[in-house]
């Protein structure tokens, strides 16, 4: 009986040790940098993402980047993916690989600099974006495309904050199953006729600036702006949002 107990205890220790390694592997955040991203995690300039990466590493996560096309092979060791500010479109096979990644339980954060490179992925998730940036008439920072967002849904992403700031943001459509996470004020507008002033024919109202949802066993969050996480713009609120995002990506 003692022998059996000893063997069982050793097996328990072995299993526990193995589980510990699995937990470490679980927190692996991959940044896509293979789609002509101009703002990257390895550089410390004002418009780059080194502070965002550091915030994520502070959770204990492994943070890395890839310039390779997104595929099952590229994504196999990651449990979370960040696609921020691509200027080059994801190819259809990449969209399918990312969808499989989420479907199997992966988490993904997407930030738009311009919309077209992400159309395929957004459509796969039943999402859409506006063709024009949002202009605000409330909570304006310095000009009307830079503004504070204070209409926030209840979400772990907003723990400890009542607002965050965006710096050139596209409106998002959450589709049939997505959730509106954050919205502009009702006074916001989109310049549909391109005359750069609020005039007849423009759209006025609350616009969604962040959405989240489930896809298979995994989850996604999409922000209509990428500048909000750049080094220059990580003020107290945006820094806290970045920290919350890091925890969300690691499943906490």
pLDDT in tens, 15-38: 333 333 234 446 899 999 999 999
Query: Alpha-carbon dihedral of residues 176, 96, 47, 79, nearest 10 degrees?
Result: 90
Mean pLDDT of 186-211: 95
Q: What percentage of the chain reaches a pLDDT higher than 90?
A: 87
Topology of the domain comprising 26-249: Rossmann fold (3.40.50)
Position 247 pLDDT exceeds 90: yes
Mean pLDDT of 108-132: 98
**Residue 205: HSE in the Cβ half-sphere, 13 Å Cα cutoff:** 6
What is the 8-class DSSP label of residue 11?
A: H
Does pTM surpass 0.85? yes
Point out the least confidently predicted range of 17-26, 41-50, 148-157.
Answer: 17-26
Q: At what angle do helices 236-249 and 50-57 cross, to 10 degrees?
A: 50
Tell me how far apart the alpha carbons of residues 168 and 134 are, in angstroms, rounded to a whole number.
7
Q: Where are the domains of the chain?
A: 26-249
Q: Rounded mean pLDDT of the chain?
A: 92
DSSP alpha helix (H) spans, 140-226 = none
**pLDDT (0 to 100) of residue 252:** 81
pLDDT band at 214 (very low <50, low <70, confident <90, very high): very high
Mean pLDDT of 126-137: 97
**pLDDT (0 to 100) of residue 27:** 84
b/e map of 59-89 (b: 16 or more CB within 10 Å)?
eebbbebbeeebbeebbeebbbbbbbbbeeb
Taking alpha carbons only, the member of 155, 116, 112, 118 closest to residue 134 is 112
**pLDDT (0 to 100) of residue 26:** 67
Q: Taking the alpha carbons of 106, 219, 237, 31 in that order, is the dihedral positive or negative?
A: positive
Taking alpha carbons only, the member of 52, 100, 106 closest to residue 227 is 52
How are beta strands 62-66 and 28-32 bridged, if at all? parallel
Position 65 pLDDT exceeds 50: yes
């Amino acid at each position: 009986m003692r022998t059996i107990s000893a063997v069982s205890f050793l097996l328990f220790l072995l299993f526990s040790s193995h589980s510990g390694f699995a937990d470490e592997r679980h927190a692996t955040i991959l940044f896509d940098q293979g789609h002509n991203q101009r703002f990257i995690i390895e550089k410390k300039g004002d418009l780059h993402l080194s502070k965002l990466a550091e915030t994520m590493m502070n959770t204990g996560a492994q943070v890395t980047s890839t310039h390779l096309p997104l595929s099952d092979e590229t994504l196999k060791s990651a449990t979370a993916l960040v696609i921020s500010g691509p200027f080059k479109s994801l190819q259809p096979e990449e969209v399918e690989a990312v969808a499989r990644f989420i479907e199997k339980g992966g988490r993904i954060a997407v930030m738009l600099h311009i919309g077209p490179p992400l159309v395929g992925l957004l459509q796969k998730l039943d999402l859409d974006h506006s063709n024009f940036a949002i202009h605000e008439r409330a909570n304006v920072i310095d000009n009307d495309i830079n503004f504070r967002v204070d209409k926030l849904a209840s979400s772990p992403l907003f723990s400890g904050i009542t607002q965050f700031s965006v710096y050139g943001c596209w409106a998002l459509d959450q589709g049939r199953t997505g959730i509106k996470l954050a919205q502009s004020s009702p006074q916001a507008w989109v310049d549909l006729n391109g005359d750069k002033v609020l005039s007849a024919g423009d759209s006025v109202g609350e616009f969604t600036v962040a959405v989240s949802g489930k896809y298979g066993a995994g989850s996604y969050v999409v922000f209509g702006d990428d500048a909000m996480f750049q080094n220059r713009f990580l003020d107290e609120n945006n820094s806290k949002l970045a920290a919350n995002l890091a925890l969300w990506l690691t499943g906490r």
